[in-house]
């Protein structure tokens, strides 16, 4: 089980636990101001925090929030949406947040279209996506926390992964654990990050 460390995000406006083996991508390359991107030093998994404008109609509930998740997912994968399969969605609770905002998580996979192989690198067999949406209607914001888990041939045990049979394998299992730790520890210290309510 990995160790975690309490990590300030967005200049300390948000804090949560991030696995110790993840590094801040902004130390390597430029990251948009509305994002925090962390990547596994010894693997391919990334954790992305993204503050976006709230999408969808006012109010909340499984239907409204479900549609918002779909909009964000389509936004993320672009025209490749037909390569995505959603395996499950669940209501999620951020236990340390004083504002009880609706939140949902989905687990999906994206399988790349078969293209001519490039010489320098092979595309992943598929990428697992664990996306959590925290809906801050009062601040007209959505917070997306996305864990991308590329499964590259030779880097994972193919026999351990069969989502139709409920077999997640180690990489997805780890990512689910990272998500759960974020839901337990995420706290918003400075609501001004989201502007005036």
What pLDDT shows up at residue 125?
Answer: 92
**CA 184, 88, 93 angle in degrees (round to 5)?**
20
Res 118 pLDDT > 60? no
**Cβ atoms within 10 A of the Cβ of 116, count?**
5
Range of the domain at 37: 4-189
Distance between CA atoms of residues 67 and 73, nearest Å: 10
Number of structural domains (the chain) is 1
Write b or e for each residue in 53-62: b if 16 or more Cβ atoms lie within 10 A of its Cβ, otherwise e: ebebeeeeee
Residue 155 included in any domain: yes
Could you tell me if residue 30 is inside a domain? yes
CATH number of the domain bearing residue 135:
3.40.1000.10
Per-residue pLDDT band at 80 (split at 50, 70, 90): confident
Phi, psi values for residue 99, rounded to 5°:
-85, 115
User: What pLDDT was estimated at residue 176?
Assistant: 95
pLDDT digits (tens, 9 = 90+) for 88-116: 999 999 999 988 899 999 999 999 876 65
pLDDT in tens, 157-193: 999 999 888 899 999 999 999 999 999 999 999 999 9
Residue 114 domain flag: yes
Any domain includes 195 = no
**What pLDDT shows up at residue 116?**
53
97 versus 78: which is more confidently predicted?
Answer: 97
Q: How many CA atoms lie within 13 A of 46 on its CB side?
A: 13
Q: Point out which residues pair with 55 in neighbouring strands.
A: none
Is residue 132 situated within a structural domain? yes
pLDDT band at residue 121 under the 50/70/90 scheme: low
Residue 194 inside a domain? The answer is no
**pLDDT given at position 65:** 93
Answer with the residue of higher pLDDT: 27 or 117: 27
What pLDDT was estimated at residue 164? 87
pLDDT tens-digit series, residues 58-70: 998 889 999 999 9
User: How would residue 82 be classed by pLDDT, with cut points 50, 70 and 90?
Assistant: confident
Spatial contact of 96 and 185, defined as CB atoms under 8 Å apart: yes
Considering the domain boundaries, does residue 108 fall inside one? yes
Burial class (CB in 10 A: 0-12, 13-18, 19+), 88: exposed
Average model confidence (pLDDT) across the chain: 92
How many Å apart are CA 143 and CA 105, to the nearest integer?
A: 12
Residue 119's pLDDT band (cuts 50, 70, 90): low
Please report whether residue 123 resides in a domain: yes
Q: Return the minimum-mean-pLDDT range out of 33-37, 75-79, 130-134, 139-143.
A: 75-79
pLDDT at 117 over 70: no
């Amino acid at each position: 089980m990995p160790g975690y460390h309490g990590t300030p995000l967005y200049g300390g406006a948000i804090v949560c636990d991030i696995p110790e083996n993840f590094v801040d991508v902004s130390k390597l390359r430029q990251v948009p101001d509305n994002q925090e991107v962390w990547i596994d030093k010894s693997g391919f998994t990334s954790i992305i925090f993204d503050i976006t404008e709230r999408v969808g109609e006012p109010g909340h509930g499984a239907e409204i929030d479900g549609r918002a998740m779909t909009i964000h997912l389509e936004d993320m994968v672009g025209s490749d949406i037909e390569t995505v399969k959603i395996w499950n969605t669940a209501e999620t609770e951020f236990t340390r947040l004083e504002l009880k905002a609706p939140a949902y998580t989905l687990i999906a996979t994206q399988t790349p279209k078969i293209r001519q192989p490039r010489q320098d690198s092979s595309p992943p067999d598929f990428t697992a996506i664990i996306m959590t949406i925290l809906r801050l209607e009062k601040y007209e914001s959505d917070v997306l926390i996305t864990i991308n888990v590329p499964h590259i041939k030779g880097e994972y045990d193919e026999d351990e992964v069969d989502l139709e049979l409920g077999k997640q394998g180690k990489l997805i299992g780890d990512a689910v654990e990272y998500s759960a730790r974020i839901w337990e520890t995420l706290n918003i210290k400075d609501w001004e990050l989201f502007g005036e309510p």
